[in-house]
Amino acid sequence: MDLTALLLSRIQFAFTISFHIIFPAFTIGLAAWLTFLEACHLVTGERIYRRLSDFWLRIFAVAFGLGVVSGIVMAFQFGTNWSELSRRTGPIQGPLLGYESFTAFALEAAFFGVLMFGRDRVPRWAYFMACLMVSLGTSLSAFWIMVNNSWMQYPTGFSLTPDGVFVPTDWSAIIFNEAVWTRFPHMVLAAYVTSAFCVAATGAWYMLRGTAVQEGRAMVVMGLRLAAILVPVQIGFGHLVGDFVHDRQPAKFAAIEGRWNDQQPASEILIAWPDPQAERNRFEIAVPYLGSLIGSMSLTSKETGIKSFPPQDRPPVAIPFFAFR
């Protein structure tokens, strides 16, 4: 494998974005959790909600700060690592990232200080509103990022100039891209589920230690209840995202499945070692019929293989295949 500038750029960007996503995936749900705790405290006056909120606020502050800092590095890498992409798609991606700053960052910056230092300086209802605004800001940030990413996955509302620059022609088609309506809820639900299990696990740890048992039990109960509600919903949205990829990005779907040849009915490959040079899997464990069921909700449907696409239109197989395992 040659360490070309392209490969090194991919490795660097992959490391940055893999590190960055840990924190938004946690803080989006945690901001909503803090808002819920403050609402409970505001309505019931129970001190346990105040103690839980104070405990998780410190964790939220650290995770939020790391998310902001790593996100800034990632934004710079759009220009340094992918300068040609930025030049060609800048008229669309630039405003979308700008909207994130004008809406999400503005809300978070305005109310984060109240969240951190205003507990005893503002009325309880005002503190709750600050939590709500920060939570709304994190969700808006996720929305604009998913709009940007969805447009890259399924470009709409643009025209190409003679030198290959993407120029917006319909902002409503760009912002309300068909892909957004499944990908954005899928991302937010993933963040909520992540936070729910983190909260429940933290509560279980305290209960096992025999310290802060009341708070630990509350965290376990609330975290697992939320997870029990959201996990089935997340599975449904995950299936909808998969349907979109299946219908709109069939080459990508074939790579995710590790399916080289057309199959009818298709098997679902659980694990394999893709060999792009030989255009086959060196080793695989597959479940018959399941691939057709997942792809088309049918036990007899024909599913497209990677070889059906010209070599220049095929995505790299190993990365999406293993990423979805």
| Domain identity same for 23 and 163 | yes
| Domain identity same for 174 and 256 | no
Which of 105 and 133 is assigned the larger pLDDT? 133
Q: What is the pLDDT of residue 108?
A: 87
Residue 13 lies in a domain: yes
Q: What is the pLDDT of residue 283?
A: 85
| Domain identity same for 18 and 152 | yes
Q: What is the pLDDT of residue 76?
A: 87
Residue 204 lies in a domain: no
Q: What is the pLDDT of residue 5?
A: 85
Q: What is the pLDDT of residue 161?
A: 93
| Domain identity same for 178 and 264 | no
Residue 116 lies in a domain: yes
Percent of the chain's residues with pLDDT above 90 = 71
Domain boundary among the residues 188, 204, 239 is at: 188
| Domain identity same for 52 and 173 | yes
Which of 101 and 217 is assigned the larger pLDDT? 217
Checking if the pLDDT of 266 tops 60, the result is yes
Those residues with Cβ within 8 angstroms of residue 275's Cβ, 6 or more apart along the chain or in another chain: 281, 282
Query: 106 burial class (0-12, 13-18, 19+ CB within 10 angstroms)?
Result: middle
Residue 232 lies in a domain: no
Residue 161 lies in a domain: yes
Query: 154 burial class (0-12, 13-18, 19+ CB within 10 angstroms)?
Result: middle
Q: What is the pLDDT of residue 19?
A: 92
pLDDT digits (tens, 9 = 90+) for 172-213: 999 999 999 999 999 999 999 999 999 999 999 999 998 888
How far apart CA 17 and CA 30 sit, in angstroms, is: 20
| Domain identity same for 37 and 135 | yes
pLDDT digits (tens, 9 = 90+) for 271-321: 999 988 888 998 889 999 998 998 888 888 999 999 999 989 888 888 889
Domain boundary among the residues 188, 210, 244 is at: 188
Average pLDDT over residues 24-31: 92
Domains identified in the chain, total number: 2
| Domain identity same for 10 and 133 | yes
Poorest-pLDDT segment among 5-9, 187-191, 251-255: 5-9
| Domain identity same for 259 and 184 | no
Q: What is the pLDDT of residue 246?
A: 92
| Domain identity same for 182 and 276 | no
Average pLDDT over residues 11-38: 92
pLDDT digits (tens, 9 = 90+) for 135-170: 999 999 999 999 999 999 999 999 999 999 999 999
| Domain identity same for 35 and 128 | yes
Residue 244 lies in a domain: no
Contact 314, 302 (CB under 8 A): no
Residue 247 lies in a domain: no
| Domain identity same for 31 and 152 | yes
| Domain identity same for 178 and 272 | no
Q: What is the pLDDT of residue 319?
A: 85
Domain boundary among the residues 149, 164, 188 is at: 188
Q: What is the mean pLDDT of the chain?
A: 92
Checking if the pLDDT of 2 tops 80, the result is no
Question: Identity (one letter) of the amino acid at 116?
Answer: M
Checking if the pLDDT of 1 tops 80, the result is no
The rounded Cα 265 to chain-centroid distance in angstroms is 32
pLDDT digits (tens, 9 = 90+) for 52-68: 999 999 999 999 989 88
Percent of the chain's residues with pLDDT above 70 = 100
Those residues with Cβ within 8 angstroms of residue 1's Cβ, 6 or more apart along the chain or in another chain: 7
Show the domain range for 291: 252-323
Residue 275 lies in a domain: yes
